[in-house]
């Protein structure tokens, strides 16, 4: 996920298939958000990324709880 998320180099420099893959990774949104916060460029353009992260967390958190409970009960 680090390779395609723009952590080390810009996503725009990746081939088309890798840019499409990066668009679905939550780390890409987190990298964009953290860069905007650290550079002080916070604007309304970040809202779709924040929304994506909220939806992703809302879906992944219950799944993680279910898996963890299954492991602890086992």
2-43 confidence digits (pLDDT tens): 888 889 889 999 999 999 999 999 999 999 999 999 999 999
**CA distance linking residue 26 with residue 34, whole number of Å:** 12
Is residue 43 assigned to a domain? yes
| Residue 1 in domain | no
pLDDT attached to residue 34: 94
Read off the pTM. 0.80
pLDDT of residue 67: 94
For 34, the domain range is 11-73
- Model pLDDT, residue 47: 95
d(CA 52, CA 59): 11
Does 61 fall in a domain?
yes
pLDDT reported for residue 1 = 84
**Rounded (5°) CA angle 27-49-56:** 65
Q: What is the pLDDT of residue 2?
A: 84
Look at the chain and report how many structural domains it folds into: 1
The answer to whether residue 4 sits within a structural domain is no
- Helices within the chain (DSSP H only): 16-23, 26-39, 47-73
2 domain-assigned: no
Is residue 66 one of the residues assigned to a domain? yes
**Is 29 domain-assigned?**
yes
Give the chain's radius of gyration (CA, Å).
15
């Amino acid at each position: 996920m680090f390779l395609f998320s723009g952590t080390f180099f810009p996503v725009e420099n990746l081939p088309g298939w890798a840019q499409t893959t990066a668009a679905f990774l939550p780390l890409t949104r987190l990298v964009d958000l953290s860069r905007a916060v650290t550079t002080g460029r916070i604007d309304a353009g970040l809202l779709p990324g924040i929304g994506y992260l909220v939806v992703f967390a809302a879906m992944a958190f219950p799944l993680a709880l279910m898996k963890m409970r299954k492991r602890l009960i086992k």
